[in-house]
Chain A
Amino acid sequence: MPEEKKGFMQNLKEVIYGMAAHDMSRYAVRTRASMEHLFILITMGDMIGIPILPPYYSLRLLPYVVPQISTWKRRLLREKDISDAMF
């Protein structure tokens, strides 16, 4: 019995999470990702031709953003604003 009950509680938890928090956390993850890209832009800007200060110490940060570089470049090129969706 307790096992079944736990399953039910688990389900209930997930439903509540889905109703109440999923959107919020999705939003947070998305905001986090935008910020990540903004961060790479600020530190590694000259990679796409925007020279932003200063290269010496940016290099120290490079290893940590290696996996994000390609998505970052893709996203920058894809970025649209609301008018693109309207018309």
Chain B
Amino acid sequence: MSLKTTFEQHPERRYIMFGGKGGLGKTTFSAATAYWLASQGKKVMVFSVDPQASLSDIFQKDIFGKGPVKIMENLWAQEIDADQHIKQYQGEIRQKILDMYGFDKVPDEIEQYIQAASAEPAMEESAIFDAVVDIVVEGNYDYYIYDLVPLGHALYYLSMAKVYDEWINKITHLREEMREYEEMVSRLKREKETEEDQILKELQYIRSRINASSRILTDKVQTAFFFVIIPEEMILIDTQKAAGLFAKFDVPLSGYVVNRVVPRELLQQQIPSYLRNRIQMQDKYLLQIDEMFGKQVSAWVPELERDVTGLSMIEKLAGIMYAK
């Protein structure tokens, strides 16, 4: 099924993701899809979950850390600045400590922990993960297009949701058990009701954030996940592996988009053998792709005469991707 018919037949699929190895065209396809949907009159948000995001480059506009930036009619783009997000978050935590206990400064021991925790490698991913929830939960767009991180990271991102969820379940359970003991003490001492457990409330909040995000990633109705591939052996092998892993995490796979196909019309012209060889090589893998994925291939996208940056090139690519 072509990309266009997929979108037309499934208007309920609002969360669109392009995944794949690095440098194959995830950002390009995200931008082109966003452009096409916006030109169809849909309100679209395309955002990047990659710390090394390149939406700024493709739209030729600096949007890093600037919140939702309007690119054209109906189209907004956003790049999350993880550092800024973490700094702001740390500030909120400090302020909360000061307010709760009336300190004039955060105790050294605690301050050290806040800083050490923020230096951990998982922090950046988690911060982006959390920021995405903000973007998606607000929900005033018709479509959300995730410009995903390369495969390895994306899997990490997905597994993080599961790990978080289990972690939260365990500690929520512990917390509830603690509460039972607390209640028992107050019953024995015939005291009034115990205070509400703020931590339990906080845990429930965290859980709701994580669930909101992982629910979308694995939503069979509203989410469409496309793999971007190119006709080369290594990519095909890796993608097959990754597809298996994604399936394990219940990511609903909608199709494959093949990028960088050298136009076959060139064969009718006088072309150097270098190019002829490349076409032959691609032919072999295109055949393989057809055997492997068959009808799951949603689009074959040609190698263009230049790289895709700027709205006019994006428009051209969208025209090709969504021609039929």
**Taking the nearest CB of chain A, how far is it from the CB of B84, in angstroms?**
15
Q: A61 touching B199 by the CB < 8 A rule? A: yes
Number of chain A residues whose Cβ lies closer than 8 Å to a Cβ of chain B: 35
Majority DSSP secondary structure for residues of A touching B: helix
| CA distance in complex: A64, B97 (Å) | 8
By a CB distance below 8 angstroms, the chain B residues around A28 are 181, 184-185, 188
**Taking the nearest CB of chain B, how far is it from the CB of A65, in angstroms?**
8
Number of chain B residues whose Cβ lies closer than 8 Å to a Cβ of chain A: 45
14 of the cross-chain contacts (CB-CB < 8 Å) are A17-B189, A21-B188, A25-B184, A28-B181, A39-B199, A53-B163, A54-B160, A55-B122, A55-B126, A57-B206, A62-B93, A63-B96, A64-B100, A67-B101
- Closest residue to B96 on the A side, CB-wise? A63
Given the interface pairs A31-B181, A35-B178, A55-B123, the reply to whether A62 lies near B114 with Cβ below 8 Å is yes
Give a binary string over B169-210; 1 marks a CB under 8 Å from any A CB, 0 the rest: 011001101100110110011000000001100110110000
Query: What are the 5 A-B residue pairs with the smallest beta carbon separation, nearest first?
Result: A56-B126, A55-B117, A25-B188, A32-B181, A63-B96
Q: A66 touching B110 by the CB < 8 A rule? A: yes
Instruction: List residues of chain A with CB under 8 Å of any chain B CB.
Output: 17, 21, 24-25, 28-29, 31-32, 35-36, 38-39, 42-44, 46-47, 51, 53-67, 69-70
Q: B171 touching A39 by the CB < 8 A rule? A: yes
From A42, A60, A69, residue with most partner B Cβ within 10 Å: A60
Q: B122 touching A54 by the CB < 8 A rule? A: yes
**Taking the nearest CB of chain A, how far is it from the CB of B143, in angstroms?**
27
**Taking the nearest CB of chain B, how far is it from the CB of A60, in angstroms?**
6
Given the interface pairs A28-B184, A32-B185, A55-B122, the reply to whether A46 lies near B198 with Cβ below 8 Å is no
